Structure 1
Amino acid sequence: MTPEYYLTKVRYMDNDQLSRVRRFNRAVTHRIGVLDGNYLGSGRPLGEARLLFEIGRDGTTVRDLRTRLGLDSGYISRMLRAFEAEGLTASTPDARDARVRRVTLTPKGRREWDLLDQRSWDRAAALLESLGPSQRQRLLDAMAEVERFLRASAVMIEPADPFSDEVQACLQAYFQELAARFDTGFDPMRSAPAEPGELVPPSGWFLLARLDGAAVGCGALKIKGDGYGEIKRMWVAPSVRGLGVAQRLLRALEDRAVAAGVDILQLDTNGTLTEARKLYARNGYGEIPPYNDNPYAQHWFEKRGLQSNR
């Protein structure tokens, strides 16, 4: 496919940006030695070596491996069967949930894991040893920055069932943070309502942000009629703050609102949530008089003209 194809799929990218990403990928894969089937001299390709390493000396569940590595279930199952045939791993029902298989290393598997671990340390040392102190620090700082943005790019924002356990767990984390930050505490039963039934299409939507399969943020849209909509339950986990997740959630909710015919979006927030107020202000939301009697609201915002600005 041509670069022009990708330009129609992703906003704000050009051919030079895509070429630089591809060049970086080639440089990294060559430098860390993943191009042959003998990663770190293990006699294994990178995928097998990484899976063995992720099982770890303490073992883990097949479910956690799939979530952590983002690999196809069938692919992981084939590799695990091969490991068992080699005498490297054993699997048993997990003590907490017999439906889940737990994988552990055998003594032979632990010996290979130790060898991989030592060679990985050696490879890291080889990468740094030829650099001077200032270059080394610059490389480490750049790696940290790249890792941060790779994590940001891995966050997926998708519609979710507001009745699901996953959504309810995310909301509980949100409510607990509000209770800790508000001087008066927080009782969701006293706040402006956003019942699960109001957040199901076409009357509303609930979006979850996920990273490595775990919910790390949420946001909801209520359709109020007459071209109005309301944003509710905006929250991002502390572990991913600074990665632009809130901005992406807000944009995704606005896109849903536009598709639903909403032209005016409203929301309310508490004065202690300074980050949220800054987010809304820089996205074109202006303060308005109160439009509800939410006892926890101290600031009310509105954004008009969504239909004409998209």
Structure 2
Amino acid sequence: MTVQDVRAFNRFYTGVIGALDYGRHLYAPYTLTESRVLYELAHSRQLDAADLRTRLSLDAGYLSRILNKFEEAGLVERGPSAADPRRRSVTLTTRGRETAGLLDERARETVGALLDSVAPQERPRLGEAMRTIRDLLGDERAPGPREVVLRAPRPGDLGWIVQRNAELYAAEYGWNADYEGLVARIVADFAEDHDPHLERVWIAELDGRAVGCVMCVRDEVPATARLRLLLVEPDARGRGVGDRLVRAVVDFAREAGYRDLVLWTNDVLSSARHLYQRHGFGLVAERPHRSFGKDLMGQDWRLDLHGSGV
């Protein structure tokens, strides 16, 4: 990427925002900076002038003139800070909150118009690109990593499992479309006929984004469950996502009354194999095979849910 690339993106994006606001006077009668000050005051319990200067990187004199204007208009009140008497707290009046609310409503309508121009299936990709820009350019106010959340699949998640398995295994191991077909059949079988008391899918979510998945389904052998389609996105690895997913399957299978938990994998998936070992699985068989366009060594692993080994 070059300086010209960044400048071109800036021109494009400001042009998009300008076109959306054409004739709408989004911030009128306030400037963009004044509107940002109102936004910060409306979304914080208590701020003083020093906080505002730091958050918005404003010159002290410029901010003082804005606050004087707001105070004269009856939008803000200033007084001694409860935390530090040497500072002046700034709070919105009732009129100030109404004004901030109006500006926020206009902004929502404008952004809504922008999103309406993007196909629904493309919006997650747009959001991820925006998060990536914030992360890489060091947005200190971007939400930090939160705890991984495991949840049930929502509409579209089963399709995401097929898509991401196909994409990741093609990119990382060179597997062909045969693997995508296998995953699609597994997912379709679950979607069409499963017992929620004995079978389950988990989606791992981080910062509102799906970053992993796993399935627990009934095996052909009585009293045996099978772990399937464990996946963790590359940028979420090292956060314990895989460990959480495997633990969820083990706990569920044990509580559902299964005697054994089994899985099939390949020896090239070394990280997954180490994860299974940590959770007590033992290798019971392996054999070479030709699948997904590659020569592989398939492995069967088993965990005795009510014992101490294989």
TM-score normalized by the length of structure 2: 0.52
What residue is the counterpart of 1:176 in the other structure?
A: 167
Q: Determine the C-alpha separation between the residues in 2 that align with 1:80 and 1:290.
A: 67
What residue is the counterpart of 2:181 in the other structure?
A: 189
Q: Determine the C-alpha separation between the residues in 2 that align with 1:235 and 1:273.
A: 11
**Aligned-pair distance for 1:168?**
1.3
What residue is the counterpart of 2:226 in the other structure?
A: 230
Out of 37, 51, 72, the residue aligned to residue 47 of structure 2 is 37
Q: Determine the C-alpha separation between the residues in 2 that align with 1:212 and 1:192.
A: 27
Q: Determine the C-alpha separation between the residues in 2 that align with 1:39 and 1:294.
A: 68
Q: Determine the C-alpha separation between the residues in 2 that align with 1:211 and 1:87.
A: 27
**Aligned-pair distance for 1:245?**
0.4
- Kept in 1, the 8 Å contact 2:267–2:298? The answer is yes
**Aligned-pair distance for 1:85?**
3.0
Q: Determine the C-alpha separation between the residues in 1 that align with 2:244 and 2:290.
A: 26
Q: Determine the C-alpha separation between the residues in 2 that align with 1:183 and 1:98.
A: 35
Deviations 1:66-97 (A, max 9, x none): xxxxxxxxxxxxx9975353589633333442
Q: Determine the C-alpha separation between the residues in 1 that align with 2:298 and 2:49.
A: 57
What residue is the counterpart of 1:85 in the other structure?
A: 102
**Aligned-pair distance for 1:227?**
1.6
What residue is the counterpart of 2:151 in the other structure?
A: 158
Q: Determine the C-alpha separation between the residues in 2 that align with 1:35 and 1:95.
A: 30
Q: Determine the C-alpha separation between the residues in 2 that align with 1:245 and 1:221.
A: 16
Q: Determine the C-alpha separation between the residues in 1 that align with 2:201 and 2:306.
A: 21
Q: Determine the C-alpha separation between the residues in 1 that align with 2:233 and 2:202.
A: 14
TM-score normalized by the length of structure 1: 0.52
- Kept in 1, the 8 Å contact 2:153–2:203? The answer is yes
What residue is the counterpart of 1:218 in the other structure?
A: 213
What residue is the counterpart of 2:244 in the other structure?
A: 248
Gaps in structure 1 of 5+ consecutive residues: 1-33, 46-78, 101-119, 125-146
Q: Determine the C-alpha separation between the residues in 2 that align with 1:80 and 1:94.
A: 24
Q: Which is further off, 225-234 or 237-246?
A: 225-234
The root-mean-square deviation of aligned C-alpha atoms, in Å, is: 4.1
- Kept in 1, the 8 Å contact 2:162–2:183? The answer is no
Deviations 1:146-200 (A, max 9, x none): x9xx73x521001225xx3123113311221112333552523246952233555
Q: Determine the C-alpha separation between the residues in 2 that align with 1:40 and 1:223.
A: 61
Q: Determine the C-alpha separation between the residues in 2 that align with 1:262 and 1:174.
A: 27
Question: Could you say if the C-alpha distance between residues 262 and 82 of structure 1 is closer, same or farther in structure 2, counting changes exceeding 3 Å?
Answer: farther
- Check if 1:97 corresponds to 2:88: no
Look up the SS of the partner of 1:242 in the other structure. Answer: coil
What residue is the counterpart of 1:268 in the other structure?
A: 264
Q: Determine the C-alpha separation between the residues in 2 that align with 1:89 and 1:192.
A: 43
**Aligned-pair distance for 1:263?**
1.8
Q: Determine the C-alpha separation between the residues in 2 that align with 1:219 and 1:204.
A: 11
Q: Which amino acid aligns with 1:97?
A: D
- Check if 1:299 corresponds to 2:299: yes
Q: Which amino acid aligns with 2:176?
A: G
Q: Determine the C-alpha separation between the residues in 2 that align with 1:215 and 1:178.
A: 17
Q: Determine the C-alpha separation between the residues in 2 that align with 1:198 and 1:239.
A: 33
Q: Determine the C-alpha separation between the residues in 2 that align with 1:211 and 1:252.
A: 16
Look up the SS of the partner of 2:181 in the other structure. Answer: coil
Look up the SS of the partner of 2:47 in the other structure. Answer: coil
Q: Determine the C-alpha separation between the residues in 2 that align with 1:277 and 1:178.
A: 16
**Aligned-pair distance for 1:40?**
4.5
Task: Indicate the percent of aligned positions where both proteins have the same amino acid.
Answer: 23
Q: Determine the C-alpha separation between the residues in 2 that align with 1:300 and 1:96.
A: 47
- Check if 1:259 corresponds to 2:269: no
Counterparts in 2 of 1:130-149, with a 5 A limit?
none
Q: Determine the C-alpha separation between the residues in 1 that align with 2:210 and 2:160.
A: 9
Look up the SS of the partner of 1:85 in the other structure. Answer: helix
Question: Could you say if the C-alpha distance between residues 206 and 82 of structure 1 is closer, same or farther in structure 2, counting changes exceeding 3 Å?
Answer: farther
Q: Which amino acid aligns with 2:100?
A: F
**Higher gyration radius (CA):** 2
**Aligned-pair distance for 1:282?**
1.7
Q: Determine the C-alpha separation between the residues in 2 that align with 1:39 and 1:212.
A: 31
Question: Could you say if the C-alpha distance between residues 190 and 169 of structure 1 is closer, same or farther in structure 2, counting changes exceeding 3 Å?
Answer: closer
